[in-house]
Amino acid sequence: MLQRIMIKVYTVLVLHLLSITHCFADVDLTKLLSNVELKHQWNATCEKDKCNFISSHESPYPFSENSPVEAVLGVEVFPKETNNTLEEILNSELNAIKNQNLINDYLEEDRPAPNNNIAVFTETINTKKVGFIKYRTSGSPEHPSVMPITVIHGIFLDSNQIVMVHLITFFGGHQEEIREDQHTLLNKLTQTF
């Protein structure tokens, strides 16, 4: 059942991933992330080029109408097939998000003011420039959600790969630790690439 939910979540919320041909990346995430210590209790499934972490905590009603779990954290590595800059990739992602999602009011005050309720910013982690896109959504027009969902995409580039760490929060019961886990994964990945 969780796998079915995971597929639906990625279909609805993360369809806007880069429009590049997917093939195996140069790194094996199964090995790379096997010893990373995360604070939240996740059920992880990893393949060579992607890992999905599904929260072991249940969402209470009415948030459970979106998903029975609190959050999903996904890591994906794609071969870089163009010379696009991080800024160009962020703009492409931003346009796809705007076109494919019902955007809600941005309620947080932790980043620069969002543009049309979507915050886009960069941070340096281990000398790598990491771009973030943060927003709240009510799903897509075809698949609206019952309650707003918070999404944070972390994206950085290596010379020949694109690395994305997506955090989708259905219920913020453990919000601080799941956000910290996203940062922990980005920290590990930026050390590796």
What DSSP string describes 147-179? Answer: EEEEEEEEEEE-SSEEEEEEEEES--TTHHHHH
Q: How far apart are CA 171 and CA 149, in angstroms?
A: 8
Q: Which residue has the tokens 């990625």?
A: 10
Q: pTM of the predicted model, to two decimals?
A: 0.85
The pLDDT value given to residue 160: 86
CATH number of the domain to which 173 belongs: 3.40.1000.10
pLDDT tens figures, 16-66: 332 333 444 567 898 889 889 999 999 999 988 899 999 999 999 999 998
Token representation of residue 36: 């990373």
pLDDT tens-digit map of 62-108 = 999 989 999 999 999 988 888 899 999 999 999 999 999 999 998 88
Percent of the chain with pLDDT over 90: 69
Quote the pLDDT of residue 80.
84
pLDDT digit string, tens, across residues 103-137: 999 888 876 667 889 999 999 999 999 999 999 99
Bridge partners (DSSP) listed for residue 166 = 74, 153
Residue 114's domain spans which residues?
2-192
Q: Is 67 exposed, middle or buried (0-12, 13-18, 19+ CB in 10 A)?
A: buried
CA distance linking residue 71 with residue 65, whole number of Å: 13
Give the tokens for residue 92.
Answer: 């492409």
CA dist 121 and 172 (Å) reads 22
Domain count, the chain: 1
Q: Helix H segments across 80-174? A: 86-100
**What integer best gives the mean pLDDT of the chain?**
86
| 3 state DSSP class of 127 | coil
